[in-house]
A = this chain, B = another copy of it.
Amino acid sequence: MNEQTFLKELKEIDLLRQAMGILEWDNQTGMPEAASEYRSEVDSYLYGLYFEKKIGAPIKEAIEYFGTHPEELSEVGQAAYTLVKEEYELQKDVPQSLAIEASAATSRAHTAWLKARKEKDFGLFKEALSENIRLTKEMIPYMKKNELTDYDVLLNQYEPNMTVEILDNVFSQVRDGIMDIRRQLAEKGTAPATTILSRKMTEAQQRTFISKVITDLGYDFNRGRLDNTVHPFATGINHNDVRLTTRWNEHDFSMGLFGVIHEAGHGMYEQNIDEKYQGTPVHEGASMGIHESQSLFNEIIIGSNRAFWQKQFPFFQACAEGTFDDVSFDEFYDSLKHSQASLIRIEADSLTYVLHIIIRYEIEKMIFNDQVAVEDLPQIWNDKYEEYLGVRPENDLEGILQDVHWSGASFGYFPSYALGYMYAAQLLQAMQKDVAVDDVLASDDYSPIRLWLTEHIHQFGASKKPNELILDATGELLNPQYLLDYLRKIYFAVYKIND
């Protein structure tokens, strides 16, 4: 075994991943409807080749050999080795029969979930969910390394080194902080009007506007593209091919607008990972939470910035070809930042969003660290919505059945979304020491912001862990106070509250 052989094997694994990436992108953006059955045969076959190589003899040999000969690896080889070994260690002890059983259970659970949604009845999903939980609980002991609790094991699949101990602290602080801001908005604030948000803007008009905006922000269309889809996503095929997707609503321009800004944040991350990592698992985001911090930096930090919108508003008006000519800038900006509690996570505004995540986190923790009867979950869900957000679902579709994650046994994933919020605000705080962010966003050249993010986050890909990235970039570990301060500042201004 030598490094060249190891990297060649990783390269071939990556070439299969790239092919699957294009097929999946095609599947989501415009594959003929009738083609899905034949396509799934291609997908399965390629995935089989990919999986076989990932656990194949050369990889096993490399893990063993370089464990005792780390000095023979370059920096890139070492970074790749670390990730490959971690993934291998996570899975190597799980009995194959159990992994297969768990995978089959998620297929069944997905079908049950779709059916339960149709009937708005959690009862139809209950058994399949119980099975997903049972099998996940069975797998945890095989995956556990140094984690304190079972739920920590699940968290670390998506956010390495994150713990329940940390999250309990930050989430209780964030929850109390947001609920306090909401109380003050309700008591002392004046909610902005939102009627202009439903004025008609054609898809073409929206596309012209947003394409220019994300280009200004640093998304490179020579190495990407923007397509229409049902469930928006960004996908990094390779260093020079990072694609965005979106959906549009001609009577709610804010959907496509913030959607594309969000996905462009993911895209800018993938486009700016150091190219030397291409062809290895290091050429991807450090974690779900860090990836989300980049999309949310665009969507929530830049997308809430008054100077940014002041600069963009005349171009927005021009793209809308008259529709917003009678609207003042203040009216426009304030309407974008109104806040209203909703039942549905993906429709939540930037103030209430994190509360949706905290509810899921608390429930997942109950499931895996404590004892809770699955049949009681809808009641718990609904009570928490009432307590934290002041709204109560009328049925399970508006409640516990709204998200796909649990049908796929993706327990431990939700916190990433909230971590992205907190990281983004903390990064802004650090960036402001080097960059006059408001001035930059009022200018014609946004590049100092993108360059700062590339220097401190993007370039490293997965070669650093999330906590290491945040510490190095901001000088401290995760601190949720920056998010609270930021939300307070933005919403108090829009709601005309003098702090």
Q: Would B222 and A34 count as touching, CB distance under 8 A?
A: yes
User: Restricting to A35-56, which residues have a CB under 8 Å from any CB of B?
Assistant: 35, 37-39, 41-42, 45-46, 49
User: A35-B237, A240-B37, A241-B35 are contacts. A42–B30 as well, Cβ < 8 Å?
Assistant: no
Q: Which residues of the other chain, B, contact A45 by a CB distance below 8 angstroms?
A: 12, 15-16
Q: Is A19 an interface residue (CB 8 A)?
A: yes
Q: Would B12 and A278 count as touching, CB distance under 8 A?
A: no
| Bound form: Cα–Cα A223–B223 in Å | 29
Set B35, B39, B240: member contacting A35, Cβ < 8 A: B240
Q: Would B19 and A241 count as touching, CB distance under 8 A?
A: no
| Bound form: Cα–Cα A35–B222 in Å | 8
Q: Would B33 and A222 count as touching, CB distance under 8 A?
A: yes
User: Restricting to A394-430, which residues have a CB under 8 Å from any CB of B?
Assistant: none
Question: Closest CB-CB distance, A471 to chain B, in whole Å?
Answer: 33
Write out, one digit per residue, whether chain A residues 6-41 have a CB within 8 A of any chain B CB (1) or not (0): 000001100110110011001000111111011101
Please indicate which of the listed interface residues A45, A222, A223, A241 has the most CB atoms of chain B within 10 Å of its own CB: A241
**Chain A contact residues: over half helix, strand or loop, or mixed?**
helix
Q: Which residues of the other chain, B, contact A221 by a CB distance below 8 angstroms?
A: 32
Q: Which residues of the other chain, B, contact A488 by a CB distance below 8 angstroms?
A: none
Q: Is A480 an interface residue (CB 8 A)?
A: no
Set B15, B32, B38, B49: member contacting A42, Cβ < 8 A: B15
Closest to A30 in B: B225
Q: Is A384 an interface residue (CB 8 A)?
A: no
User: Restricting to A236-286, which residues have a CB under 8 Å from any CB of B?
Assistant: 237-241, 243, 278
Closest to A21 in B: B42
User: A32-B240, A34-B222 are contacts. A26–B22 as well, Cβ < 8 Å?
Assistant: yes
Q: Would A224 and B42 count as touching, CB distance under 8 A?
A: no
| Bound form: Cα–Cα A95–B225 in Å | 44
Question: Closest CB-CB distance, A53 to chain B, in whole Å?
Answer: 11
Q: Which residues of the other chain, B, contact A241 by a CB distance below 8 angstroms?
A: 31-32, 34-35, 38-39
User: A37-B240, A38-B239, A238-B38 are contacts. A46–B19 as well, Cβ < 8 Å?
Assistant: yes
Q: Which residues of the other chain, B, contact A18 by a CB distance below 8 angstroms?
A: 38, 42
Q: Would B32 and A222 count as touching, CB distance under 8 A?
A: yes
| Bound form: Cα–Cα A238–B42 in Å | 10
User: A18-B42, A240-B38 are contacts. A225–B32 as well, Cβ < 8 Å?
Assistant: yes
Q: Which residues of the other chain, B, contact A224 by a CB distance below 8 angstroms?
A: 32
Question: Closest CB-CB distance, A43 to chain B, in whole Å?
Answer: 9
Set B11, B30, B41: member contacting A15, Cβ < 8 A: B41
Q: Which residues of the other chain, B, contact A225 by a CB distance below 8 angstroms?
A: 30, 32
| Bound form: Cα–Cα A15–B237 in Å | 20
| Bound form: Cα–Cα A114–B420 in Å | 50
User: Restricting to A190-230, which residues have a CB under 8 Å from any CB of B?
Assistant: 221-225
| Bound form: Cα–Cα A22–B28 in Å | 13
Q: Which residues of the other chain, B, contact A16 by a CB distance below 8 angstroms?
A: 45
| Bound form: Cα–Cα A223–B33 in Å | 7
Closest to A23 in B: B22
Closest to A242 in B: B32
Question: Closest CB-CB distance, A316 to chain B, in whole Å?
Answer: 24
| Bound form: Cα–Cα A418–B432 in Å | 69
Q: Which residues of the other chain, B, contact A41 by a CB distance below 8 angstroms?
A: 11, 15
Question: Closest CB-CB distance, A118 to chain B, in whole Å?
Answer: 24
Question: Closest CB-CB distance, A266 to chain B, in whole Å?
Answer: 16
Question: Closest CB-CB distance, A61 to chain B, in whole Å?
Answer: 21
| Bound form: Cα–Cα A243–B41 in Å | 19
Question: Closest CB-CB distance, A268 to chain B, in whole Å?
Answer: 14
Set B30, B38, B223: member contacting A32, Cβ < 8 A: B223
Write out, one digit per residue, whether chain A residues 54-82 have a CB within 8 A of any chain B CB (1) or not (0): 00000000000000000000000000000
Extra 4 A-B pairs, beta carbons < 8 Å, given A12-B45, A35-B237: A22-B26, A32-B221, A35-B241, A38-B241
20 contacts between A and B (CB under 8 A): A15-B41, A15-B42, A18-B42, A19-B19, A19-B46, A22-B22, A22-B23, A22-B26, A31-B241, A32-B223, A32-B225, A32-B240, A32-B243, A33-B222, A34-B241, A38-B237, A38-B239, A38-B240, A39-B238, A49-B49
